[in-house]
Amino acid sequence: MARGILRIFLGAASGVGMTFAMLQEAHQLLGSGRDVAVGIAADHGRLETRELMTGLEIVAPRLVDADGIDAQEMDVDAVLARHPEVAVVDEYAHSNSSGSRNEQRWQDVEELLDAGIDVLSTVSVQNLASLEDVVSAITQVARKGTVPDEVVRRADQIELVDISPELLRQRISDGNVYPKDRVDAALANEFRLGNLSALREVALIWLADRVDEGLAKYRASEGITANWPARERVVVGLTGGPEGEALIRRASRILSRVNGGDLLAVHVRLSESRLGEAPRTLEVQRQLVTDLGGSYHTVSGDDAAETLLEFARNVNATQIVVGVSRGRLTSRLLGTGVGSNVVRGSGDIDVHMVSHPLGSHGLPRATSRGLGRARTTVGFVLAVLIPVLATGILSLAPELNLATHVLVHLTGVMAVAFIGGLWPAVLAAILDSLLLNYFETDPVGTFSINDPQNLFALLVFLGAAIAVSLLVGLSAKRAQEAARARAEAATLADLARDALIADDTIAAFLDKVRETFQVSSAGLFTRAGDAGGGWELQAHSGKVPPPPPGSAEAGTDAYELPDPRTALAVSGRTLTAGERRLLTAHGAHLLLLRQRHSLQLRLKNTTKLAEGNSIRTSILRAVSHDLRTPLAGIKLAVTALQRQKRRLPDEIRDEMLDTIDSYADRLDSLIGNLLDMSRISSGSTAPLTSPVAWRDAIEDALRGFPGGAIRVDLAPNMPPIDADLGMLERVIANVVENALKYAPGSDIVIIGPASGSGVATINGRPCGELRIVDHGHGVPAADVIAIFEPFQRLDDAPEGLGIGLGLAVAKGFSEAMGGQLAAEPTPGGGLTIVIRLPLSAGPQLTHPETRSTDRSAP
């Protein structure tokens, strides 16, 4: 069965019309004869959207209990049973209620797509996982429901639903997005003009990247190598020389003339380059590229110009910047430099050849096996010319003997050998021997030799000439191997550097492998069990993953086995022997990378276990000491009542009952703090935040405290905050209880923000403040941090002052709600505890019937 088609309507913010556009498309498909059904869709109280749902078949949703409130979830089984051609599923990033088959709605959509059902859905850019921090910084609102970018990118079609920020604000003002009582708060907070403009730009940039990926995929599938200047991309060719910084800055200035674009710095490393490279210089240039907002890449190849051009074509570059040394006059005049070769092969890509006086560095010249085609060609020409010229010049001095002629011709052979290598030198030696034999040995004018000494001299000459040629060829080969080893060592040094200072993921490492070897794809394969099992793809880089090792599709593709159960595979071109050695090193690095990730996970788990053991040890210590006191008091009072029964006076019996009640309350408080600390340390604290007024939380928190012991002095217009009412009550109660313990008899006041302090912020988001002030002995500055740690008590006071968890629990609950708990010295002596929580973006306040059930007594 063919997989269904996923079409997503993407918007920058709520109210731009994503659901409206999706339902319009559903009506158009229904009118064209397609079978359409609505799996789930929300009108959000908007009349226009609700009217569009009329005429569409709606599959009845499931009703679930979400914290006492009936909520609707898509009935996946019912939609699969109905099996329409097209299903409408709103809010792709929605998190399903507990008890659902899948945690996320996009996972429900995957089931529909696998069943061959086409799906229409909606996503706000604010729900994309990679943009969560960016959007939160813009809107000052934390998003709870997110969807992985990769899942959205896999959609077959993505349509941007866009309106101008001014029009969206007008729609909100007209009441078309939110009810009238929420319009002012929405316009003053999340839907400010600047916020909407920034979100719109984020959405456009994200979608542009998605379109760019589709363009690259199309160009690759169609084999298109011509440049399509859809987006400005400037590629800089680097060599590791000092001129690289000037080239990078020049490219950045070129890119600054346009709005948007990419800067890509490419270090072209040739396997047989004769040029040295300075690692420190490359590191400085890498950092400069990063600071300028670009990306740094390292590629290897046999031809510098062709390697650079291939990279530029792969990224659809529009401009290339290369350096040309002013010292290479010959190359510039003859047009044989790498820059000239880049210009000749650039096609539609603009090339900027930047001259510089920094040494003789430019892009390294192309090299090939041996001494190079140009030198070999020149060597063969000289192998013919030098013997002829030497013979002609020596004929002008007939008094010279044969030995002198031999030495002159041997010098010519050596010159040919150093320039052209082995075979031109052999040709020169043979030609020299024939010329010496014909013109210098008796009988002259023939190739016969009468004197054996002359024959011996010619043979020695020929052997020496060939020996010199062999030595030159061997030295060239050794130099070639040394250059290749140097390039391999530099690549391995980059690997080691990344292992030390970078925290690469497997996907990022595979991207580097694909880039380094200039292949179309790279993948990680593993197999379970013994070495005879089948290979399974774990991760890959590239549009299409490489075939598994050993398969019929693998062909000439290369793969490396770091261990019997792991394989690193690449495909796209045949690797040389040197590149295969490098691939072996990359495979070993990949194995170490996976081991490091495994060790980091184990370390994290071990640290968590150690912290848990520390908490358990402290709890046991608290149980063995602090909990025994109230238990002993209760036991003693109950025993006395049982033994004396009716013989005790009423006042003594009432006193004992009060003692039992007091000790029971104290025991309940200790156990409550222990349970709360256990929840906080295990990470299972999940607040249910909603708009809350400070005064409501304070009234509930102060119940049970002595009347008149705490004075509340709040401004009447303090804005509501986002909080879990039950948790906030517990925070306030614990702080007040701590103040009563350690500052008995002092004046304890609960007030709002300090006058003239401005609006406090948490991670850039405005927040409200509550201050609980006492005038006791205070806490030394060095001990302020310690008072919020579990099982810490002022001066280690042992008598009846709890187990030191009150402030630790309060701090944990505050942070769980996205806030802070801090301590400051009170002017004149004492301690002030400051509670900060994010301001609410909506006007609705929590009512008693909807409050959290977490209301443990302090």
* CATH, residue 706: 3.30.565.10
Check whether residue 302 and residue 439 sit in a common domain: no
* Count of CA atoms in the C-beta half-sphere (13 A) of 610: 6
Check whether residue 319 and residue 434 sit in a common domain: no
| Buried-exposed string 565-591: b where 16+ CB fall within 10 A, e elsewhere | ebbbbbbbeebeebbebbbeebbbbbb
Check whether residue 673 and residue 690 sit in a common domain: no
Helices 650-682 and 628-644, interaxial angle, to 10°? 150
Task: Read off the pLDDT band of 37 (50, 70, 90).
Answer: very high
Q: Which domain holds residue 418?
A: 373-477
List all residues 6 or more positions away from 221 whose beta carbon is below 8 Å from its beta carbon.
543
Residue 175 lies in a domain: yes
Check whether residue 791 and residue 692 sit in a common domain: yes
Nearest 5°: CA angle at 187, between 724 and 834? 35
Task: Read off the pLDDT band of 684 (50, 70, 90).
Answer: low
Cα distance between residue 27 and residue 30, in whole Å? 5
| pLDDT score of 88 more than 90 | yes
Cα distance between residue 783 and residue 796, in whole Å? 12
Cα distance between residue 171 and residue 746, in whole Å? 55
Check whether residue 532 and residue 567 sit in a common domain: yes
Q: Dihedral sign, CA of 646, 650, 651, 654?
A: positive
Highest mean pLDDT among 1-10, 369-378, 665-674, 789-798 belongs to: 1-10
Check whether residue 739 and residue 838 sit in a common domain: yes
Cα distance between residue 312 and residue 321, in whole Å? 11
The pLDDT tens digits of the residues spanning 565-584 come to 788 888 877 777 767 777 77
Judged by DSSP in three states, 352 sits in strand
Cα distance between residue 851 and residue 832, in whole Å? 28
Cα distance between residue 541 and residue 507, in whole Å? 7
Residue 127 lies in a domain: yes
- When pLDDT is averaged across residues 89-99 and rounded to a whole number, the result is 84
- Predicted pLDDT of residue 359: 45
The pLDDT tens digits of the residues spanning 594-624 come to 777 788 788 877 877 776 676 666 555 555 5
Check whether residue 140 and residue 162 sit in a common domain: yes
Please report, as a single letter, which amino acid is at residue 305.
Answer: A
Cα distance between residue 521 and residue 282, in whole Å? 26
- Predicted pLDDT of residue 362: 45
Q: Which residue has the higher pLDDT, 413 or 674?
A: 413
- DSSP-derived secondary structure letter, 799: S
Q: What is the pTM of this model?
A: 0.40
* CATH, residue 329: 3.40.50.620
Check whether residue 30 and residue 166 sit in a common domain: yes
Check whether residue 313 and residue 397 sit in a common domain: no
CB 522 within 8 A of CB 537: no
Strands 521-526 and 566-571: antiparallel
CB 509 within 8 A of CB 597: no
- Integer-rounded Cα radius of gyration of the chain: 40
- When pLDDT is averaged across residues 482-505 and rounded to a whole number, the result is 62
| Buried-exposed string 39-50: b where 16+ CB fall within 10 A, e elsewhere | bbbebeebeebe
Task: Read off the pLDDT band of 680 (50, 70, 90).
Answer: low
**% of residues, the chain, pLDDT over 90:** 4
Task: Read off the pLDDT band of 46 (50, 70, 90).
Answer: confident
Residue 723 lies in a domain: yes
Residue 857 lies in a domain: no
- DSSP-derived secondary structure letter, 190: T
Check whether residue 89 and residue 175 sit in a common domain: yes
Check whether residue 59 and residue 150 sit in a common domain: yes
DSSP assignment of 623-673, as one string?
HHHTTHHHHHHHHHHHHHHHHHGGGS-HHHHHHHHHHHHHHHHHHHHHHHH
Q: Quote the number of domains for the chain.
A: 6
- DSSP-derived secondary structure letter, 533: S
Which position has the token pair 């029009």?
Answer: 167
List all residues 6 or more positions away from 758 whose beta carbon is below 8 Å from its beta carbon.
none
* CATH, residue 213: 3.40.50.300
Cα distance between residue 169 and residue 191, in whole Å? 7
Task: Read off the pLDDT band of 497 (50, 70, 90).
Answer: low
Q: Which residue has the higher pLDDT, 175 or 830?
A: 830
| pLDDT score of 854 more than 60 | no
Residue 496 lies in a domain: no
Residue 538 lies in a domain: yes
In the listed set 554, 570, 602, which residue is the last one of a domain according to the structure? 602
Per-residue CA distances from 29 to 32, 56, 160, 364, 697 (Å): 5, 11, 19, 59, 52
Residue 486 lies in a domain: no
Check whether residue 590 and residue 643 sit in a common domain: no
Residue 666 lies in a domain: yes
CB 676 within 8 A of CB 730: yes
In the listed set 564, 586, 602, which residue is the last one of a domain according to the structure? 602
Cα distance between residue 34 and residue 32, in whole Å? 6
- Predicted pLDDT of residue 855: 33
- Predicted pLDDT of residue 727: 84
Which position has the token pair 């085609």?
Answer: 373
Highest mean pLDDT among 206-210, 256-260, 722-726 belongs to: 722-726
Q: Structure tokens of 670?
A: 């200790």
Cα distance between residue 125 and residue 206, in whole Å? 8
Average pLDDT of the chain, as a whole number: 76
In the listed set 602, 618, 638, which residue is the last one of a domain according to the structure? 602
